[in-house]
Structure 1
Amino acid sequence: MPPQTNTSVKVVEVCRVTPQPGSLDSKAVTPNLSLPLTYFDLFWLRFPPVERLYFYESTSSPSDSVLENLKTSLSLVLQHFLPLAGNLTWPQDSDTPVLTYVEGDAVSLTIAESDADNFDNLSSYGDFVEARDYHPLVPKLDVTHSRAAAIALQVTLFPSRGFVIGTTMHHAILDGKTSTSFVKSWAHACKHIILNNGVSTDSDFSLPDQLKPFYDRTVVHDPTGLGLGSLYANEWRKMDGPDNKSVMIWDMKAPPPESVRRIYEFTRPKIQTLRQIVLVSHPILHLSTFTLVCAYMWVCLVKAQGVDAEKLTIQAFSVDCRARLDPPIPANYFGNCVTGAAGFVKAKELLGEDGLVVAVRAISEAIQGLEKGVLNGAEVWVSKMKDFVQAEGVYSTAGSHRFQIYETDFGWGRPKKVEVVSIDRTGAISLSESKNGGGGVEVGVVLRKHVMEAFASLFAKGFGDH
C-alpha cells in the first residue's frame, strides 16, 4: 500500500489527445514517421523519465475554460511535435530502438481535481514540502518491455486556487532542452488561442523559429569512428539477459517516507559573494555561475550528510553538445544531444577550510576537459551507467538555469513555481533560473528531514544568514 500523502487527487478523465490535422512547418515530418535513436538517445534508454510540475495561480478562470484551452492547444501543438504522440519500440529486425508515429497515435492527458487545501504549501518556497506530496500530481508514463510512450501529461485543478501541469518525459526521446521547448510551444499555442478567443486552426498558428523542432537525424555524426550507436545498443541488449531488446525503464527506489524537498535561491549578490571568496586565492579559475552554484551545493551536501572523510565523492553534470559538435547542429534539434562530465574529490577535501575552492577547481577541470572532445571516453558510458547511477557519493544535476523555465506562460501568467519531481528518486539536484530574475539560480533538493535541516543551516551560514 503506497504511503499516505497530504495531497488528495481524484482522476476525473483520461484523454487521448491526437495531433490536429493540418499543414506542417517542417517538411522533414510526414503523417507517419520513424526516428531512429542516435547514440545520444541510446545512452538514456532505460533511465527513469523526467517528471516536472508547473504551478499556476488562478482564482478567476473557470475550470472548464482552462481545460478546454489546454486540450485544444495540446492538439494544435502536437501537429508540430508528432513524434511525441508516438511510441518507442525495438523491432526484432532492427539493430536499435525506433520512435514511431502512426496516424491515430495520441498523448495521454489525465485530468484530475484536488480537494486538498495545500496548494499554497506545495507552491511555496520557504517551507519544507514532503516529497511524496507531489507524486499524485505526476502522470504515469505508459511503458512495457515492448513499447514505451514518449510523454504523459496531467492537469490537476485546485478549485479557487490554481492548477498544476505535470509532465513526464521519456529521457531516451527528449533531453532537457527539447522537453522544455515542447512545453513552451504548448504554452505558446494556448496563449494564442486565448488571445484569439478560441481560434484554433493550424492555418493561423505558427511557432517562433526557436521553438520549431528540427528532426533531421543525419546531422548527428560519430567522430569517434567507434560506431557508438551499435556499441550502446549491444550493451543494452547484453544487460539483464541475452538479446534483451527491452525498452522498460529502471524502477528507481522511492524516497524514504521522511524525505522533504525545498528550493534554495542563489541571488546574484550570493553568487558574487562566492565568486569573491574563490578569487581571493585563485584568480584564474573558471568561475561561471553554474560552477559556483554546483560547487557550493556539493560542499553543503557532503557536510550535511556527514560523508566519511576518506570517501571519494563525484559531482556529475550534463553538457549540451549542440554547439560543441563539429560541425555544430541546430539549437532546436529534437532529441538528446548531451554529454556528461564529472569532478572527483575526496570528502575530506570538501570538508576543509578551502572546500569551496577545491570543488570549483574540480568542476572547472571537468568543463575544461570537454575542450579535448565531448565524446572522449564515450565507448564505456553505457557499460558504466548502471553502476554509476547506483553508486554512493555521486551528486548530479537535472535541468539548467539556461532553459528559462519560468518563461512558460499558457495565458494565465508565469508559473508560481516549477519543480523537478523525479530528483527524489535519482538523487540529483534540480537547476533553473530564479523565478525572481536578476541572474539568480534556483536549486531544488530532496533529503531526509533531519539532513535537510542541517543543509538549510549550512547553506545560510555560508552567506552569513541565520
Structure 2
Amino acid sequence: MINIFHSIHITSLKYSAQSSPEYSQYDEYIRVISSSTIQAPPSQNGGDSAQRIDLPPWDLQFLLLETIQKGLLFHTKNHQIHHLQHSLSSTLAFFPPLAGRLVITRHHDNNNHTTTATSHITCNNAGALFVHAAAENTSVADILQPNYVPPIVHSFFPLNGAKNHEGTSQPLLAVQVTELLDGIFIGFTVNHSVADGKSFWLFINSWAEISRGFLKPSKSPVFQRWLPHNIEVPIRFPFTEKQEAQQCSEKILNAPPERIFHFTKEKIVELKAKANMEANTNRVSSLQAVLTHLWRSVIRCKQVDPEEEVSYFLIIGARPRMVPPLPEDYFGNAALFGGVTVKAGELVVEGGLGKCAMELNKMVSLYSDEMVKKEYECWVRTPKLHLLDGVTGGHSLATSSSPRFDVYGNDFGWGKPVAVRSGGANKRHGKITVFAGAEEGSIDIEVCLPIEILEALGNDPEFTHTISS
C-alpha cells in the first residue's frame, strides 16, 4: 500500500563549508519532490499485523544512539520511482518489523521512587517512509572524485538526527531516492534498535532481489530474538526523560569531515603478511592488519606522546560465536563492543603493526559463547545504554560495519552500484566505517577525523604506499 501524504515542496538544505577548500565547494540545495508512506500489502503481512517482538539487551543498548544510514550510488537514469515503491511494499511483507513502530512503556515504582522502562516492536504495518528528491546540480563524479565526502551526501538520507528511541513515533525504515544529473543515490535509514549491519544489508539485498523480479527473498529473516531461558521479558532498564534530554543536548550539528581510503586486495595481502611475520603467527586477519595499520598511521600523524594510552574499539558479531550458532539470517542486533588499549609508543615503533594487530586478535578471540552469554546476563543485571562519545573522541578510534556485507551485489534492475556512502548518523571524530570495495577482495575505509589529520594521512608516505588513489 502506498499512501502519498505530501505534495511537491521545496526544502533548502544548505551545508556549512569546512576548512578545507575542496570541502567547501559543494554547497547545494535538495529539492524534495514527494514523500510517501509505504506499507506491506495487507493480505501478505504475515497474518498477524500486531505481532510483538520484545527487545533483548543487544537491541536495547542502542536506544540513545542514532540510526544506521548507508546508501548506494548508481550511474544510471534507468529507474522507476513507482517500481521501487511497489517492490519496497512487496519486500516489507517479508520484513514486518521494518513497517512497525517501537513501543516504550514507563514503569514507576512508588516504593523506591524509581522509573524504569520496557520496549518492544509492534509489527502494526504503520509503514516506512519513502522520499523522492532531486539534487539537480550534482553529478555522480561530484560524489566519487573528491578526496573528501561532499557534505551534500548527508542530505541524501531521510530522518537525519533521529535517535532510535524516537521510533515510537517515527518510521523504523526510511528510504530516500535522490535523482542526480546522471545517476541516482538511494539512502537507507534503519532504526538501530531493530537491526544491526548484517540485518540491514539482508533487507537491502532482499529488496534488490524483489525489485529484479524475485517473488520472495532468497534468504528468510529470523525475527525471534535470542534470550537465555532464565531471563524474563520484557526486560526493564533505566530510561528517563532526563537521559533523553541530555543526549539531545549533546548532538553535534556540524558533522566531522570524512575521507575514504581504498585498499586493494594486493596491498591487504601485503599488510596481513607483514603483521603475521612481525607477530610470529598466522592468526592475524586481513581486516585486523588493515585496521591496525590505519590506527598506527593516525596516531603517528597526530604525534601523540609515546607514553599516552590510545584505544581502538570494534563491534564484534555474536552470531557465529554462540553454541549452537545463531541463524545466519537472525534479524536484529547480535553484536558486542570490544576494545584494546596500548601506549602510543608501542603502536608506532617498528614491529608495532604485528604486536598491536595481535592484541586486536586476542581481544576478539575472548568472545566465546561463554563470554557472550556472561556479558548478556551482566547487562540484564545492570542495564546501560550506549553513548557514542564513550568510544570516540580524544585518541580513540571505533570501527563499525564490515567488508563481508554484500554491498555491490545490490542490483535493483539497472545494474550494480558504483559506490557506497554513509550518512551523518553517529558521526564523531574517530569514527571509522568499513565497506567492501568495488573490486573483489578490496576494502574501503571511511575515516572521520579533524581535517588536519586527514590531510596528514593523505601525505604520509608510509600510509599512502598502502592505498590507491
Instruction: Quickly name the TM-score band, shorter chain normalised.
Output: 0.7 to 0.9
Does the CA contact (< 8 Å) of 2:275 and 2:289 recur in 1? Answer: no
Q: Which residue of 2 aligns with 1:445?
A: 447
In structure 1, C-alpha distance between the alignment counterparts of 2:372 and 2:398, rounded to whole Å? 18
Does the CA contact (< 8 Å) of 1:260 and 1:448 recur in 2? Answer: yes
In structure 1, C-alpha distance between the alignment counterparts of 2:89 and 2:361, rounded to whole Å? 44
Q: 2:43 aligns with which of 12, 18, 22?
A: 22
Q: Which residue of 2 aligns with 1:71?
A: 85
Q: Which residue of 1 aligns with 2:217?
A: 207
CA 1:423–1:82: 2 relative to 1, 3 Å: closer
Q: Which residue of 1 aligns with 2:144?
A: 123
Could you tell me how far 1:40 is from its partner in structure 2?
0.9
Q: Which residue of 2 aligns with 1:177?
A: 198
In structure 1, C-alpha distance between the alignment counterparts of 2:331 and 2:448, rounded to whole Å? 30
In structure 1, C-alpha distance between the alignment counterparts of 2:129 and 2:422, rounded to whole Å? 20
CA 1:107–1:377: 2 relative to 1, 3 Å: closer
Q: 1:35 aligns with which of 8, 32, 53?
A: 53
In structure 1, C-alpha distance between the alignment counterparts of 2:85 and 2:246, rounded to whole Å? 28
Could you tell me how far 1:463 is from its partner in structure 2?
3.6
Q: Which residue of 2 aligns with 1:44?
A: 62
- How big is each residue's C-alpha offset from its partner over 1:124-162, in whole Å with a ceiling of 9 and x where there is no partner? 4xx323452212111116664953431211000014x01
Q: Which residue of 2 aligns with 1:265?
A: 262
Q: Which residue of 1 aligns with 2:404?
A: 402
Q: Which residue of 1 aligns with 2:129?
A: 108
Could you tell me how far 1:111 is from its partner in structure 2?
0.6
Matches within 5 A, 1:301-450: 301-371=298-368, 373-378=371-376, 379=378, 383=384, 385-386=386-387, 388-389=390-391, 392-422=394-424, 425-426=427-428, 427-437=430-440, 439-450=441-452
| Amino acid in structure 2 at the alignment position of 1:435 | A
In structure 1, C-alpha distance between the alignment counterparts of 2:205 and 2:350, rounded to whole Å? 43
Q: Is residue 135 of structure 1 aligned with residue 143 of structure 2?
A: no
Q: Higher mean Cα deviation, 170-179 or 393-402? A: 393-402
Q: Which residue of 2 aligns with 1:253?
A: 252
Question: What secondary structure is seen at the aligned counterpart in 1 of 2:261?
Answer: strand
Q: Which residue of 2 aligns with 1:152?
A: 174
Does the CA contact (< 8 Å) of 1:147 and 1:247 recur in 2? Answer: no
CA 1:463–1:96: 2 relative to 1, 3 Å: same
In structure 2, C-alpha distance between the alignment counterparts of 1:321 and 1:432, rounded to whole Å? 19
In structure 1, C-alpha distance between the alignment counterparts of 2:240 and 2:211, rounded to whole Å? 44
Could you tell me how far 1:363 is from its partner in structure 2?
0.3
Could you tell me how far 1:10 is from its partner in structure 2?
0.3
Q: 1:221 aligns with which of 222, 227, 238?
A: 227
CA 1:331–1:282: 2 relative to 1, 3 Å: same
Q: Which runs of 5+ in 2 are unaligned?
A: 1-13, 18-25, 108-115
Does the CA contact (< 8 Å) of 2:41 and 2:93 recur in 1? Answer: yes
Does the CA contact (< 8 Å) of 2:279 and 2:358 recur in 1? Answer: no
| Amino acid in structure 1 at the alignment position of 2:330 | Y
Does the CA contact (< 8 Å) of 1:401 and 1:432 recur in 2? Answer: yes
Could you tell me how far 1:41 is from its partner in structure 2?
0.5
Q: Which residue of 2 aligns with 1:200?
A: none
- How big is each residue's C-alpha offset from its partner over 1:53-96, in whole Å with a ceiling of 9 and x where there is no partner? 2101114x2xxx52111111001101111111111121246952
CA 1:228–1:35: 2 relative to 1, 3 Å: closer
Q: Which residue of 2 aligns with 1:12?
A: 33
Could you tell me how far 1:2 is from its partner in structure 2?
5.5
Question: What secondary structure is seen at the aligned counterpart in 2 of 1:373?
Answer: helix
Q: Higher mean Cα deviation, 10-19 or 384-393? A: 384-393
Q: 1:97 aligns with which of 114, 119, 124?
A: 119
Does the CA contact (< 8 Å) of 1:214 and 1:332 recur in 2? Answer: yes
Q: 1:85 aligns with which of 74, 93, 99?
A: 99
Q: Which residue of 2 aligns with 1:197?
A: none
Task: State the TM-score, normalizing by the size of structure 2.
Answer: 0.83
Could you tell me how far 1:107 is from its partner in structure 2?
0.7
Q: Count residues in correspondence.
A: 430
In structure 2, C-alpha distance between the alignment counterparts of 1:98 and 1:123, rounded to whole Å? 40
Q: Percent same amino acid among aligned pairs?
A: 21
CA 1:358–1:255: 2 relative to 1, 3 Å: farther
In structure 2, C-alpha distance between the alignment counterparts of 1:33 and 1:281, rounded to whole Å? 53
In structure 2, C-alpha distance between the alignment counterparts of 1:123 and 1:461, rounded to whole Å? 19
In structure 2, C-alpha distance between the alignment counterparts of 1:412 and 1:16, rounded to whole Å? 24
Could you tell me how far 1:176 is from its partner in structure 2?
0.3
| RMSD across aligned positions (CA) | 3.0
Could you tell me how far 1:305 is from its partner in structure 2?
2.8
CA 1:324–1:400: 2 relative to 1, 3 Å: same
In structure 2, C-alpha distance between the alignment counterparts of 1:54 and 1:414, rounded to whole Å? 9
Q: Which runs of 5+ in 1 are unaligned?
A: 194-204
